[in-house]
Chains A and B, each alone.
Chain A
Amino acid sequence: MLPPVFSVSFPFNYLPFTNNAVISFRQFIKDMSNPVIDLLDLKKYFKEVKAVDGVSLSINQGEIFGLLGPNGAGKTTILNILCTLLKPTSGNAIICGHDINKDKDAVRRCIGIVFQDPSLDDQLTAYENLDLHGRLYHIPKDKRKQKMEELLELVELSDKKNVMVKTFSGGMKRRLEIARGLLHQPEVLFLDEPTLGLDPQTRRHIWEYIEKLNRDTKVTIILTTHYMDEADVLCNRVAIIDRGKISAIDTSTQLKKQIGGEVISIKTEDEFHPDQPWIKNVNKHDGCINLTVEEADQKLSLLMNIAQEKKINIDSVTIHKPTLEDVFLHFTGKTIREEEANWADAVRTRRRSRSR
């Protein structure tokens, strides 16, 4: 039996109704896979340093897309190019149908950005900062007022709106900046390290805002981060950036699957060599033996039996799914921290000396 709503709509031209449904469904599929951002072989060299070295990627409408990589990998440079603050050395990018090299103003109108470092005027109040932004983006007065109240509500700063920004905490400033980035209803929101330097509680809060925003406003979000967990929790798809190039790009689940299986960590003081064909990878680290295997929960009892036969004392056993940290190690051959130590310093010093 059809529910009453359906039986009401049924008599009205049956055919067009279904056609429309089909068309709108197609449109829906098209929107889902319609890139709002297209990077075409983007390059940016600072003298001999290749900060961005041939990056091509497409980001779809409504996605939360993560650029993951160590500090200095080129993430911020990519963002600065996309928001028209830097000219690419070569290559191009199309944002919402506008060329970043030719049509800067149109690009600027359809993007919002929250920079890594605060960019608020701290001698103005929260409300004044938003109002200034609204006027710079030419939002009519009534709409501006209404949006400002709405967004202050969203980031829970309504009661602080007439307080000078210089008295705000880091988390409050970041929230205000997110609100400001959304004020002109951009189609794309860039977040550069949105939780850098914030305490764990505030970080979770910001994550919740970002998810909520994406859900409620359907805004496409591109964020950069060097926190694995952040990319894992938030992003639909992740691109791993290393030395200005994309090493891998996929959903974080898929990326982790490419490593395959799960990781069993066995803590023991004895020498343990299980030597089984189903063990895909072994490495030792801090008195732990890490074994990569498929279907770890079933293999665990086998392992325990082998250990017992060999009379090996096991202190503890843990099973974990591969984390993005493992993924980064897999694709770049280094952990994200090692990578930061070397490369970032080189790029930073170069960029500083350039700006003198």
Chain B
Amino acid sequence: MNLDAIYILWLREIKRFIRSKSRIIGSLAFPTLILIIIGTGLNSVFTMGKLSYIEFIAPGMIGMVLLFSSISFGIMVIWDRQFGFLKEMLVAPISRTSIVVGKALGGVTTSMFQALLFLIVCFAIGIKIPSPLMLLLLFLVMILIAVGFVLVGIAFSSRMKDFHGFSLIMNFVVMPIFFLSGAFFPLDKLPEWLKWFVYIDPLTYGVDALRFCMVNTSSFPIWINLLALIVFGLVATIIGTLLFKTTQL
């Protein structure tokens, strides 16, 4: 581990992120539209106990911002490969683990920044976090979700040579993870066959934990959610790092 190298690789990501403002706005526009239009549109039809529908899906939208920004960040390693910068990192006398850590920290920071911007949108539509302790727990959950999915993205990009597979991953990995996560519907009345898919989706536990922190309802106890997220984060980190270590030009 080389702290100097990790720091500078992290800083590089931050600089690149700040310099592409359209990326920030683009990533927030879609979830905001869903929240306001779908949320308001379906509000009259659905009531989730004491929650309005818009309150119900707001945590799901935070999960979506984290999922999309984290995975697409990880996949951006392909960009480094195509523009040659990956070679510059690979011939440097630093371990591949340092490169992964630097990259991942950069990805977590930038996704967190986007998710926090979206959290402000949520505050604007009237969501209130009950206590400062809940806010801290919320941050922890957000970080865990981001870590896991950034590493999933890095894992994919370690085995992809160009962008041809990108839409494949969006349609067959990212979208199912999002739709199965329970961002739009409650988990307790699902048919058996769907339940299984929902239960193996790591984002399910993320959204459930976010809902616990933001609107104080959840399907699972918080400790199960946290445990699931930690296991997911660890597994993704191990697999992502191993795959990146053996990445070829």
**Chain A contact residues, CB within 8 Å of chain B:** 80, 83-86, 105-106, 108-109, 111, 113, 115, 117-124, 128, 131-133, 135-138, 355-356
A356 neighbours in B (Cβ, 8 Å): 161
Residues A123 and B19 in contact, CB atoms below 8 Å apart: yes
Residues B87 and A137 in contact, CB atoms below 8 Å apart: no
Residues A123 and B91 in contact, CB atoms below 8 Å apart: no
A106 neighbours in B (Cβ, 8 Å): 93
Residues B93 and A85 in contact, CB atoms below 8 Å apart: no
User: Which 8 A-B pairs have CB atoms at the shortest separation, nearest pair first?
Assistant: A119-B84, A136-B92, A135-B8, A108-B93, A109-B93, A119-B88, A105-B93, A355-B161
Total of A-B residue pairs, C-beta within 8 Å = 71
A119 neighbours in B (Cβ, 8 Å): 83-88
The interface on chain B, measured as residues whose beta carbon lies within 8 A of the other chain's beta carbons, has a size of 26
B82 to A, closest residue via Cβ: A117
A80 neighbours in B (Cβ, 8 Å): 249
User: Chain B's nearest CB lies how many Å from the CB of A81?
Assistant: 11
25 contacts between A and B (CB under 8 A): A84-B91, A85-B87, A86-B249, A108-B91, A115-B84, A117-B84, A119-B86, A119-B88, A120-B88, A121-B16, A121-B85, A122-B83, A123-B15, A123-B16, A123-B20, A124-B12, A124-B16, A128-B12, A132-B8, A133-B88, A135-B8, A137-B92, A138-B5, A138-B93, A355-B161
Contact of A85 among B4, B8, B90, B161 (CB under 8 A): B90
User: Chain A's nearest CB lies how many Å from the CB of B246?
Assistant: 11
User: Chain A's nearest CB lies how many Å from the CB of B249?
Assistant: 6
**Chain B contact residues, CB within 8 Å of chain A:** 2, 4-5, 7-9, 12, 15-16, 19-20, 83-94, 161, 248-249
Residues B94 and A136 in contact, CB atoms below 8 Å apart: yes
A132 to B, closest residue via Cβ: B8
Bound Cα distance A84, B88 (Å): 12
Residues A108 and B92 in contact, CB atoms below 8 Å apart: yes
User: Chain A's nearest CB lies how many Å from the CB of B30?
Assistant: 24
Residues B7 and A135 in contact, CB atoms below 8 Å apart: yes
Q: A85 and B84 in contact (CB under 8 A), knowing A132-B8, A355-B161?
A: no
Residues A83 and B85 in contact, CB atoms below 8 Å apart: no
Bound Cα distance A86, B2 (Å): 23
User: Chain A's nearest CB lies how many Å from the CB of B198?
Assistant: 34
B7 to A, closest residue via Cβ: A135
B98 to A, closest residue via Cβ: A136
Residues A131 and B8 in contact, CB atoms below 8 Å apart: yes
A138 neighbours in B (Cβ, 8 Å): 2, 4-5, 93
Max count, chain B CB within 10 A of own CB: residue among A105, A123, A128, A356: A123
User: Chain B's nearest CB lies how many Å from the CB of A261?
Assistant: 44
Known A86-B248, A119-B86, A120-B85; 16 more pairs at CB < 8 Å: A85-B249, A106-B93, A108-B92, A115-B87, A119-B87, A120-B84, A121-B83, A121-B85, A122-B83, A124-B16, A128-B12, A132-B8, A136-B8, A136-B9, A136-B93, A138-B93
B91 neighbours in A (Cβ, 8 Å): 83-85, 108, 111, 113
Bound Cα distance A122, B19 (Å): 11
Bound Cα distance A131, B88 (Å): 13
B16 to A, closest residue via Cβ: A123
Bound Cα distance A120, B15 (Å): 15
User: Chain B's nearest CB lies how many Å from the CB of A15?
Assistant: 45
Max count, chain A CB within 10 A of own CB: residue among B19, B91, B161: B91
Residues A135 and B4 in contact, CB atoms below 8 Å apart: yes
Residues B93 and A124 in contact, CB atoms below 8 Å apart: no
B84 neighbours in A (Cβ, 8 Å): 115, 117-120
Residues B15 and A124 in contact, CB atoms below 8 Å apart: yes
A133 neighbours in B (Cβ, 8 Å): 88, 92
B92 neighbours in A (Cβ, 8 Å): 108, 133, 136-137
Bound Cα distance A109, B88 (Å): 13
B87 neighbours in A (Cβ, 8 Å): 85, 115, 119
B85 neighbours in A (Cβ, 8 Å): 119-121
Max count, chain A CB within 10 A of own CB: residue among B86, B90, B93: B93
Residues A136 and B249 in contact, CB atoms below 8 Å apart: no
B89 neighbours in A (Cβ, 8 Å): 136
Bound Cα distance A122, B83 (Å): 9
B88 neighbours in A (Cβ, 8 Å): 119-120, 133, 136
User: Chain A's nearest CB lies how many Å from the CB of B54?
Assistant: 37
